[in-house]
Structure 1
Amino acid sequence: MDTQQLALVFPGQGSQKVGMLAELGESFSIIKDTFTEASDALGYDMWDLIQHGEQAQLNLTETTQPVLLTSSVAVWRLWSAQGGLLPSLLAGHSLGEFSALVCAGSLGFADAVRLVRARGQFMQTAVPLGEGAMAAVLGLDDTKIVEICAEAAAGNGVVEAVNFNSPGQVVIAGQVAAVDKAIELLKAAGAKRAMPLPVSAPFHTSLMRPAGEKLAQALADISVQKPNIPVVHNVHGKTESDPEVIKALLVEQIYSAVKWVDCVETMVAAGITTTIECGPGKVLSGLNKRINKSLNCFNIESPESFAETLASTK
């Protein structure tokens, strides 16, 4: 196939699980070597944690973010080393955008690992534990969900649509009372499902602005380069080449909605026919297929899926 038709995509929080990439790590030394590099940057054995640690530890935002970024970069390095086709576009969901920027040569790997650990800490502490909530909404029009969030927010606090994941699948987040009210109103409006998610903070809401301010300070000391491969950004679904604008988008992303539908539609409009999800799980592959049924969607998380993807994209 042609480079112009391929995009690589990188998952966000929720894809982590104990034992992930185990077989890939045993089969290809580049996987474990990448984890060693990240472990040196953070001061603990990350590979040991994901293979033998507790799921609860993995689910802590400040752990999840560096673990997933490292997993994605490890798979990207394997893909590149084994002669995988160079993609013409990259994109990542939320945290995955940082993975995409590392793979594009825009962010240094060690810098990014430390940065996303800090990002996780900033996001977790922006809203006191127990005060924030998120919920998935299925089977309702995006515009209707936005309207209902505005209605539920009146007198109840903040609730906003924060992830536009695929047609008919939107995540909302905010303060507990407002999210609860929104769930009630969304069900009454005909949503197929409106269910709370097991997440400890209201990510991508305006409540995350304090985290954005801290991230901006952390980014001030980090070198960002023009990407070698264009990255489609969550905030507006477009690519950007100016390093200072990229920094600003990473800050804005923390308190803005993830417009994943827009990101995928941008890729398709640019001629992308195939996406490869680098890292554990198949969340993005499922979303991408729902956004555009004509897309060929692969994922790499095991030796088998790697071999299949490599063979299918020659």
Structure 2
Amino acid sequence: MASVPDIKITQPPRIAVIFPGQGSQAVNMAAELAEVYPQIHETFAEASSALGEDLWAICQDEEQLNQTQYTQPALLTVSIALWRILEDKLTHVPCYLAGHSLGEYSALCAAGVLSFADAVQLVHKRGQLMQQAVIDVDTAMAAVLGLEDSRVETLCEQAAEHVEGAVVGAANFNSPGQVVISGNAAGVNAVIDKVQNTGKKAIPLKVSVPSHCALMKPASSALAEALAAIKFDQATIPVIQNRHARVETGIQGVKQALTEQLSEPVLWSQTMQALSDKQINILIECGSGNVLSNLAKRQAQPIISYPIDKPARLDKLIEVLS
């Protein structure tokens, strides 16, 4: 288990809570916390009731868990269970919330924008729509390391222009020097070749759908219809959304950002910069794993980040804040 920074906060904490997205799932996630905190099983019971399936059992089955329509509600449920535990322990209300891709739904749920039951059903539907959008399409994603954002975008544009049938674009701007690309296999492989020709690395990712690229536009249109049918409320805590790395104004703006997010890139580096600009000095990663905490170390202006996916990590955070 990665070590948690042993740092005492010497100034008033300005906290932001961040929620991870797809790729953070793991079999038995939250199992250790479930032995200590009843909120874990209680929240999973709510999710299973909303979904009509035993989501906790699905989390113990790797094959099922890695199916997008189950991955998404499972990760959201872990995040909201941890959020409920965290709410009971925090003495400072977070200044902002943000989530990476799917994690944005967890953030909006935590902020009271949509109910937990609606959020579970919505992300399950989102996963189904994403899979349906690329039936019979050979798809791929890859992490490009060591190149500037603009250079990666240029390589994607060149591949799309010069390789027959290629669809590829930047999907996640995760941190300086780390950009994930997404599209069909022809486009992604063409960019991988170009990246390797520069002497840099491009690592193929094991994913079931190519998120945040033009191939998701049919899913995006269908998602807009699903969003229109769900009641959204004003956020109790501001949520910085992926689409423009800002707090959207108005419920329609929130829904529009969610719709566009599916086929447009996640601006995570820009979100981290926005939090830094707002003098955030503690991040709490509320969900499975510590992917976002690791990314936080690589930002242009790093902010110390605490994952809370295990009892020892959660205890350490409370100790630091106290």
TM-score interval, smaller chain: over 0.9
2:252 matches 1:238: no
2: CA distance, partners of 1:217 / 1:178 = 29
May I ask how many residue pairs the two structures share in their alignment?
A: 311
- Counterpart in 2 of 1:92? 99
- Matches for 1:203-218 after TM superposition, within 5 Å: 203-218=211-226
User: Aligned with 1:229: secondary structure?
Assistant: coil
- Counterpart in 1 of 2:274? 266
Residue type at the aligned position of 1:313 = L
- Matches for 1:158-177 after TM superposition, within 5 Å: 158-177=167-186
- Counterpart in 1 of 2:311? 303
- Matches for 1:127-138 after TM superposition, within 5 Å: 127-138=134-145
| Superposed displacement of residue 294, structure 1 | 4.2
- Counterpart in 1 of 2:16? 7
Match of 1:64 among 42, 47, 71: 71
User: Aligned with 1:298: secondary structure?
Assistant: strand
- Pair 124,84 (structure 1): closer, same or farther in 2 beyond 3 Å: farther
2:193 matches 1:184: yes
Match of 1:255 among 263, 286, 291: 263
1: CA distance, partners of 2:254 / 2:315 = 34
Residue type at the aligned position of 2:205 = L
- Counterpart in 1 of 2:4? none
| Superposed displacement of residue 215, structure 1 | 0.5
2: CA distance, partners of 1:84 / 1:112 = 26
- Counterpart in 2 of 1:16? 25
User: Aligned with 1:194: secondary structure?
Assistant: strand
Q: CA offsets per residue over residues 30-81 of structure 1, 9 Å max, x none?
A: 111011100100011112222x32x121111100000000000000000112
- The answer as to whether partners of 1:212 and 1:255 remain within 8 angstroms in 2 is yes
Residue type at the aligned position of 2:237 = I
- Matches for 1:12-91 after TM superposition, within 5 Å: 12-50=21-59, 52-53=60-61, 55-91=62-98
- The answer as to whether partners of 2:296 and 2:302 remain within 8 angstroms in 1 is no
Match of 1:117 among 124, 135, 144: 124
- The answer as to whether partners of 1:57 and 1:63 remain within 8 angstroms in 2 is yes
- Matches for 1:209-228 after TM superposition, within 5 Å: 209-228=217-236
| Superposed displacement of residue 173, structure 1 | 0.8
TM-score, normalised with respect to structure 2:
0.93
| Superposed displacement of residue 311, structure 1 | 1.5
TM-score, normalised with respect to structure 1:
0.96
- Pair 272,83 (structure 1): closer, same or farther in 2 beyond 3 Å: closer
1: CA distance, partners of 2:210 / 2:229 = 27
Q: CA offsets per residue over residues 253-303 of structure 1, 9 Å max, x none?
A: 000000000000001101101100011111000111111454111001111
2: CA distance, partners of 1:296 / 1:183 = 32
1: CA distance, partners of 2:182 / 2:210 = 5
2: CA distance, partners of 1:136 / 1:208 = 19
Residue type at the aligned position of 1:243 = I
- The answer as to whether partners of 2:276 and 2:301 remain within 8 angstroms in 1 is no
- The answer as to whether partners of 1:4 and 1:87 remain within 8 angstroms in 2 is no
- Counterpart in 2 of 1:126? 133
- Pair 232,3 (structure 1): closer, same or farther in 2 beyond 3 Å: farther
| Superposed displacement of residue 130, structure 1 | 4.7
- Pair 292,75 (structure 1): closer, same or farther in 2 beyond 3 Å: farther
2: CA distance, partners of 1:215 / 1:139 = 34
Give the alignment's Cα RMSD to 1 decimal.
1.4
2: CA distance, partners of 1:195 / 1:130 = 20
- The answer as to whether partners of 1:165 and 1:287 remain within 8 angstroms in 2 is yes
2: CA distance, partners of 1:85 / 1:74 = 19
User: Aligned with 2:283: secondary structure?
Assistant: strand
